């Protein structure tokens, strides 16, 4: 990698900063709130949706709200783990761990659907816009990483093909006193 990180890694780090800040704050607020996060329309919509879907009682609604807040906190912590890995890679001048990034993006995309699906069902334009924006932010990071890896694989395959098709050049030794002429 050298001293310059790849675009996909930097983009994922910026997305991580956003999700750590927003989702981490939302999760801690919901977990420490006496109202279990129901003052946040997004959280309340998701918890109510799952309560209705699984026919929970009021106690089940509160537990659902806490589980959803816990999932948000775990996603935020996963993004913190990627930020730590990215900063270590930047200092050590190496590539960040691909598996960490892959799992964080996969887990976050699944978690976003837990909030986006109820928001779509509620029909509230503000919630739909919020979750669509977060989903597009995450999907954009995924697309950049995938395209970057495809380009890298294509370059690697092209260099392997070029070395296999061209045999190593043969070296001929000219007799002593021979002169070479330039041919145009």
> For residue 119, what are its two tokens?
């928001």
- The residue count of the chain comes to 184
For 31, residues 6+ apart whose C-beta sits below 8 A from its C-beta are: 37, 66, 69, 70, 73
Contact 110, 136 (CB under 8 A): no
Residue 2 has pLDDT above 70, yes or no: no
- For position 184, what pLDDT does the model report? 58
| CA pair distance 58, 64, nearest whole angstrom | 10
Tens of pLDDT, residues 76-101: 999 999 999 999 999 998 888 889 99
Q: Is 143 helix (H, G, I), strand (E, B) or coil?
A: helix
Residue 155 has pLDDT above 90, yes or no: no
- For position 175, what pLDDT does the model report? 62
Q: What is the DSSP letter of 123?
A: T
Tell me the average pLDDT across 164-184.
59
Tens of pLDDT, residues 20-43: 999 999 999 999 988 888 998 999
Radius of gyration of the chain (CA): 26
Average pLDDT score, the chain: 87
> Closest Cα partner for 11 from 131, 115, 104, 123?
104
For 95, residues 6+ apart whose C-beta sits below 8 A from its C-beta are: 1, 6, 9, 89
- For position 118, what pLDDT does the model report? 94
Upper half-sphere CA count for residue 97 (Cβ side, 13 Å)? 11
Residue 148 has pLDDT above 60, yes or no: yes
Contact 9, 89 (CB under 8 A): yes
Domain boundaries, given as residue ranges, for the chain: 7-161
Q: How many CB atoms lie within 10 A of CB 22?
A: 14
Residue 18 has pLDDT above 90, yes or no: yes
| CA pair distance 81, 86, nearest whole angstrom | 9
> For residue 88, what are its two tokens?
């270590």
Tens of pLDDT, residues 38-61: 998 999 999 999 999 999 999 999
What are phi and psi for residue 91, nearest 5 degrees? Answer: -70, -40
């Amino acid at each position: 990698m050298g001293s310059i990180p790849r675009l996909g890694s930097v983009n994922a780090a910026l997305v991580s900063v956003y999700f750590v800040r927003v989702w981490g704050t939302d999760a801690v607020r919901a977990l420490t709130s006496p109202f279990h996060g129901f003052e946040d329309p997004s959280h309340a919509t998701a918890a109510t949706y799952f309560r209705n879907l699984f026919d929970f009682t009021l106690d089940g609604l509160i537990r659902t709200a806490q589980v959803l807040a816990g999932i948000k906190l775990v996603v935020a912590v996963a993004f913190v783990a990627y930020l730590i890995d990215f900063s270590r890679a930047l200092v050590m001048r190496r590539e960040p761990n691909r598996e960490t990034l892959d799992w964080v993006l996969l887990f976050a995309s699944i978690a976003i659907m837990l909030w986006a699906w109820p928001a779509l069902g509620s029909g509230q334009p503000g919630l739909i816009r919020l979750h669509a924006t977060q989903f597009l932010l995450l999907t954009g990071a995924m697309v950049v990483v995938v395209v970057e890896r495809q380009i890298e694989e294509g370059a690697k395959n092209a260099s392997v093909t070029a070395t296999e098709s061209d045999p190593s050049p043969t070296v001929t030794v000219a007799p002593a006193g021979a002169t070479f002429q330039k041919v145009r």
